[in-house]
């Protein structure tokens, strides 16, 4: 693990079951990650029905409650002391060199560049497993703030896979 500080490494360990659940339980077809600050009040099968099956999608991730643009989330993380500012700056400069731009309606079908990540519902198929591995690798490479690396991982996977709109 490359996240610099001891706190960063601890946070990264918490992301293993969140993002790499298919590695811990390879025979499971679906998973539901719910952050410890939340309480499950619905039947998990209802959540699969509402967020995956009715919409014919394979992965559902809660949106951030305030930010849709990762560059706004960067500033919020820096001002909130969520991580070392120099590490965040290095991470975002790297993403900008890879093509990161501000969120806009031009990214239609993508409703946000910033997940809240407190709820992740997924079907474990190769493309979703690849995405969560890529997302975890981005977190491991830079900071443990998964909100900052989500759009970079998503952009990388979208650039290599054809999607029907």
pLDDT tens-digit readout, 64-76:
777 768 888 888 8
Q: Establish if 1 belongs to a structural domain.
A: no
Q: Give the structural domain span for 141.
A: 6-159
Rg (CA), the chain: 16
Q: Establish if 129 belongs to a structural domain.
A: yes
pLDDT band, very low/low/confident/very high, at 134 (cuts 50, 70, 90): very high
Residue 136 or residue 115, greater confidence: 136
Q: Establish if 164 belongs to a structural domain.
A: no
- Whether the per-residue pLDDT at 5 is higher than 90: the answer is no
Question: Average model confidence (pLDDT) for the chain?
Answer: 85
Query: What's the whole-number mean pLDDT along residues 129-142?
Result: 92
Q: Establish if 50 belongs to a structural domain.
A: yes
E strands, 6-80, are 30-34, 59-63
Q: Which two tokens stand for residue 120?
A: 């992740």
Q: Establish if 81 belongs to a structural domain.
A: yes
User: Worst-scoring range by mean pLDDT, 58-67, 91-100, 110-119?
Assistant: 110-119
pLDDT band, very low/low/confident/very high, at 1 (cuts 50, 70, 90): very low
Q: Establish if 144 belongs to a structural domain.
A: yes
Q: Which two tokens stand for residue 152?
A: 């970079």
Q: Are 140 and 1 spatial neighbours (Cβ–Cβ below 8 Å)?
A: yes
Q: Establish if 165 belongs to a structural domain.
A: no
- Total count of domains within the chain: 1
């Amino acid at each position: 693990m490359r996240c610099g500080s001891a706190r960063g490494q601890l946070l990264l360990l918490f992301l293993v079951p969140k993002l790499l659940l298919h590695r811990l339980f390879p025979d499971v077809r679906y998973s539901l990650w719910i952050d410890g600050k939340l309480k499950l009040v619905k039947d998990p099968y209802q959540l699969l029905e509402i967020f995956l099956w009715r919409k014919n999608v394979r992965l559902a991730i809660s949106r951030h409650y305030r930010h849709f643009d990762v560059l706004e989330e960067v500033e919020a993380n820096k001002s909130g002391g969520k991580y070392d500012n120099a590490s965040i700056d290095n991470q975002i400069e790297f993403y900008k060199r890879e093509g990161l731009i501000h969120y806009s309606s031009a990214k239609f079908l993508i409703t946000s560049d910033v997940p809240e990540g407190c709820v992740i519902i997924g079907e474990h198929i190769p493309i979703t497993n690849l995405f969560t591995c890529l997302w975890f690798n981005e977190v491991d490479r830079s900071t443990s703030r998964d909100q900052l690396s989500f759009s970079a991982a998503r952009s990388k996977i979208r650039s290599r896979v054809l999607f029907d709109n």
